[in-house]
Structure 1
Amino acid sequence: MHLLCSVYKKFDQPDTGKLLLRIMLGGILIFHGAHKLIYGIDEVREMLAASGLPAFLGYGVYVGELVAPVLLLAGIMTRAAALFIMINMVFAWYLGDAPETLHLDAQGGLMIEGLLFYFFSAIAVIFLGAGKYAVIKNS
């Protein structure tokens, strides 16, 4: 039993866990932002306009999918960056995925599980902060 406890203690690394969460969330989401940077946000702007919202809000996707992930990866303004990601996911759900909220995909998972993954990971970062492996501590 003592050996098992000592093994578990070696894995008690909350700052490493926070870093991995930031790398995972920012590192995966940034590819969506890069895609929009390369191909534009016309589709996002059209969805906003169709929903009666101003099309200029579409530029917020660059903040939520490019700027915020870079900040997360660096550990700068981490909680604020995660908040922007969370807001971005709310807009993504409202504009495109709301009708599929309770639908399942071919493998039996929720159609919006990727969106939920980003949303709840962002909430976790808001509560946890950056940890010690960050450019700016306690952000």
Structure 2
Amino acid sequence: MQTQISFLEKICIADYIKKIQSLGYSSIDCHTRHIAEFLQIAVDGYDLGIINYDHRKRNLKLENEPTFAADIFSKILNSIEKPNKHLELQQDFEGENIEIQTTYFRELLYNIEHCIHHQPKNF
């Protein structure tokens, strides 16, 4: 994550918002926001004991300001190390709230895989 932070501190806004073919003609800013929000949900959900990725706030400031995104990743990095514990994963599905038992480490693993999924395919 430190590499991501360093990258965000250096990238110019034109490159940050540029549509990239290997990202499915999406941009780094959109993927950065999406990844940060998912990680933040996992970390913030720890104390509540509940994680619900559907209820994330879509903070467009993460897309418009790479240095703000770097600050968010720094905060996540500083708070991500916690002991494993059981959590409840909630998901909204066709108007119903589904609850599944999970663990903090399982959700961190999911987020790692999620980050890999959002990397450019040709890097």
TM, length-normalised to structure 2: 0.35
Which structure shows the higher strand fraction? 2
Answer with 1 or 2: which has the greater Rg.
1
